[in-house]
Structure 1
Amino acid sequence: MRPERLKQHLTERARALGFDALAVTRPEAVPDLGPRLAAWLEAGHQGTMGWMETTAERRADPRTLWPEVRSIVMLGMNYGPDEDPLEAIRRRTKAAISVYAQGRDYHDVIKGRLKELAGVLASQAGDDVKVFVDTAPVMEKPLAQAAGIGWQGKHTVLVSRALGNWLFLGAIFTTAELPVDAPEGDHCGSCRRCLDACPTNAFPAPYVLDSRRCISYLTIEHAGPIPEDLRTGIGNRVYGCDDCLAVCPWNKFAHAAREQKLAARRDLASLPLADLARLDDAAFRALFAGTPIKRTGRDRFVRNVLVAIGNSGEPALVEVARERLDDASPLVRGMAVWALARLLPPEAFETLRTARVDAESDAHVRAEWRSRPIGAGTIREADQGRGPAARRV
């Protein structure tokens, strides 16, 4: 089959499998990948994601990952929400979960379909193929821009003129020589809505993300206590953050798609914080079975929930936070202390601290106890999602 016809056949098959975009680039199409990645790592923006450093050489050049690769087929799958994700952050006693996580784990969904499409390519062309979805050291976004699917916006997420920025990406590496597509240019212009919408100021400059301040990193990748100066900005976001994606003007071309493609679960869109804080490991695994959330683990997730409880301004959640003071996980106990410092009057928190601090065995939790209590009366307008950043959204 001629390369042009083969590519057309792959495009048609990809559509049938639920992909919304297919484009081809060469492995050498982004020669500045290495210097860009090195500068980002040198600035420490990767935080505790050590694998970004250990795999930097392979990320910088796809040919290092697989020397025989001749073409890279980039695919995009739209997961656009059917309602405004920013509505969830206004429900302070409910959990806000990132859109992509409100359904079956996208790694499983996309990898199976990529393998099927790669099988078509291998059988028709007689060439070798490899598939990659996020977990491999592949720089999907720059490659997708080189292939013309979209461009990396100022928030570093891929933006498509046809689909907005709700896109899962996957790649098929192949030894076949396929016709390439033209790269996509930058269409952000002077817009900076995504930068202004970030609750924790995670963008030190346009097109640069400091993961250490990003809510998605803090609630998913970061294993320890969340830095105190970033907790109020998290609001009720217990897993990921959609703010910078949700405000992008190019979403006017997006369409809702997650229902049919990712088996979206309506029950995950508005879960009470009180219920989530009381999850033990078995209940956590059962509730989030098959979703990306399960991989984070119960302790880290309940840590996030307690941060949200502390930001809720809701005295009715005091008892829920108090229950977690006896949790087996120091990570959970520490965030329970912080939540109580936010919700209780200073004198009530001082009484509780006096009764419990000396019995605490973990140094980090003791440090939380000994920090000056904030008190419910000082929860500011901005902490409640009504400050300047929220108004810009």
Structure 2
Amino acid sequence: MADLVTEIRERALALGFDAFGIAPAEARPDLGDKLAAALAAGWHGDMDWMAETAERRASPKALWPEARSIIMLGINYGPDSDPMAMLARKSTGNISVYARNRDYHDIIKGRLKEVAGLLSRRTGAEVKVFVDTAPVMEKPLAQAAGLGWQGKHTVLVSRQFGSWLFLGAIFTLAELPVSEPMAESCGSCRRCLDICPTNAFPAPFQLDARRCLAYLNIEHKGPIPAEFRKAMGNRIYGCDDCLAVCPWNKFASETREAKLFAREDLREPPLSELLALDDAGFRALFAGSPIKRIGHGRFLRNALIAAGNSGDAALLPAVEARLGDGDPLVRGAAVWALAQLADGERVRRGAEAHAGGERDADVKAEWAAVLPEVV
């Protein structure tokens, strides 16, 4: 059996995976209680699917009762530049490192199927592959498989690759020798907790998604809550702050190969160009990207919040052009951005042109917050 595992591992590495480990399907019996506590606290926010799939998510055996072993694999996607430096370039859109290339689901799933196919041929055992689209708790399972440990920011941390690993799982009916679980090694470090601009961590190893910028600008469907808009800065998709400051990341750059470097047009896209995108342009620019899944409206919402935080008055015409957008989510964000960039008279002119005929309650509230006497 050891020879089989060696063959599978070598095939996985040849396909571009960087981390490999095996956990028993009954690993982490504590997951159900941890998940239930997080859901009871409401930390999942609008992600109702987490509650709806809680029973299956709580245990690999609940998802597939006959499963015996779980192979966990990871691909290093560490950036070739410091994501934090881009926060200072306020007239550009800051996209999370993981989303600057092809959708990682597409990158990983095909490779997982190849590894799983080899395992199935060698053992005759049934296999199933999962990449973040099924109720599988990949990070704690990856810890059980020895790939790393869940850091205080709840993201998997690897001694070799820091906080930059895409994860995939292969469930199988085959009984495979398991890897040694990885012990938590954060020590007294709390950089990831202290850097969070919205205090999204109630305590080490706990995340309240409702305060997480990545949740707010990706998963959240409504207006960005006013209390978090300034904190968003120019983050138009995701937030890498807690990952980027992890001291273990230094090993990711040392071991990385040129596999998943960012698309040049997504490194520092100008907000002026992003705000001008129509729906077809949005779909064309982000074809094959995870960004496409949030839709044109939510994307423009994020770009307008970034514009409002930019201090760049040159963006005002692009912002004003969205005051009459067909999507109220976009209109509301445009009102806020206008108020951040324009003087009082220009805001008043915008309100006189658009506020009187507004019917959406959220957009009316945005105008009322800016110029209550106009609405």
Q: TM-score range by the shorter chain?
A: over 0.9
Q: How many Å apart are 1:274 and its aligned residue?
A: 0.9
Alpha-carbon separation, structure 2, partners of 1:240 and 1:257: 25
Of 125, 128, 138, the match for 2:123: 125
Q: Which of 210, 214, 220 matches 1:216?
A: 214
Q: 1:373 to 1:185 in 2, by over 3 A?
A: farther
- Structure 1 residue 298 displacement after superposition: 0.6
Q: For 1:310, what is the secondary structure of its paired residue?
A: helix
- State the SS of the aligned residue for 2:356: helix
Q: 1:75–1:169: 8 Å Cα contact kept in structure 2? A: yes
1:189 aligns with 2:187: yes
2:137 paired residue number: 139
User: Which residue is 1:201 aligned to?
Assistant: 199
Residues 152-167 of structure 1 mapped to structure 2, 5 A cutoff: 152-167=150-165
List per-residue Cα deviations over 1:138-195 (Å, max 9, x = no partner). Answer: 0000000111110000000000011111000000000111111111111111111001
Cα distance between partner residues in 2 of 1:352 and 1:230: 24
TM-score, normalised by the number of residues in structure 1: 0.92
Greater displacement, 347-356 / 37-46? 347-356
| 2:160 counterpart SS class | coil
Check conservation: 2:323, 2:354, Cα contact below 8 A: no
Give the equivalent residue in structure 2 for 1:390: none
Measure the CA separation in 2 of the matches of 1:345 and 1:232: 18
Paired position in structure 1 for 2:72:
74
What is the SS of the residue equivalent to 1:249?
A: coil
Task: Spell out, residue by residue over 1:214-243, the C-alpha distance to the aligned partner (whole angstroms, 9 max, x if none).
Answer: 111111111110101001000000000111
CA distance in 2, matches of 1:196, 1:138: 29
The amino acid that maps onto 2:355 is V
Per-residue deviation, 1:69: 0.4
For each residue in 1:279-312, what CA deviation from the matched residue of structure 2 results, as whole angstroms up to 9, or x when unmatched?
A: 1110000011111111111110010000000000
Query: How much is the aligned-residue C-alpha RMSD, in angstroms?
Result: 1.5
Deviations 1:88-139 (A, max 9, x none): 1110000100111011110011000000000000001111100000011000
Q: Which amino acid aligns with 1:261?
A: K
* Superposition map of 1:1-393 within 5 A: 3-255=1-253, 260-262=258-260, 264-372=262-370
Residue 373 of structure 1 and its aligned partner are, at CA, apart by 6.1
Classify 1:258/1:305 alpha carbon distance in 2 versus 1 (closer, same or farther; 3 Å).
Answer: farther
Equivalent-residue separation in structure 2 for 1:324 and 1:63 (angstroms): 49
Q: CA deviation at 1:200?
A: 1.5
Q: Is the 8 A contact 2:79 2:261 kept in 1?
A: no
- Of the structure 1 ranges 196-205 and 117-126, higher mean CA displacement relative to structure 2 is found in 196-205
Q: Secondary structure at the match of 1:255?
A: helix
| Contact 1:79–1:257 (CA under 8 A) maintained in structure 2 | no
Q: Count residues with an aligned counterpart.
A: 372
Letter of the structure 2 residue corresponding to residue 9 of structure 1? E
Q: What TM-score does the superposition give when structure 2 sets the normalisation length? A: 0.97
Alpha-carbon distance between aligned partners in 2 of 1:89 and 1:310, rounded to the nearest angstrom: 14
Please state how far the C-alpha of 1:205 moved relative to its aligned partner: 1.1
In the aligned structure 2, how far is the partner of 1:351 from the partner of 1:317? Answer: 17
- Counterparts of 1:93 and 1:256, CA distance in 2: 31
Identity of paired residues, percent?
63
Per-residue CA deviation, residues 322-368 of structure 1 (Å, 9 max, x unaligned), is: 00011111000000000011111234323432443111121110110
Say which is worse superposed, 254-263 or 75-84, in terms of deviation: 254-263
Report if the CA contact (8 A) 1:346-1:373 is conserved.
no
CA distance in 2, matches of 1:214, 1:228: 14
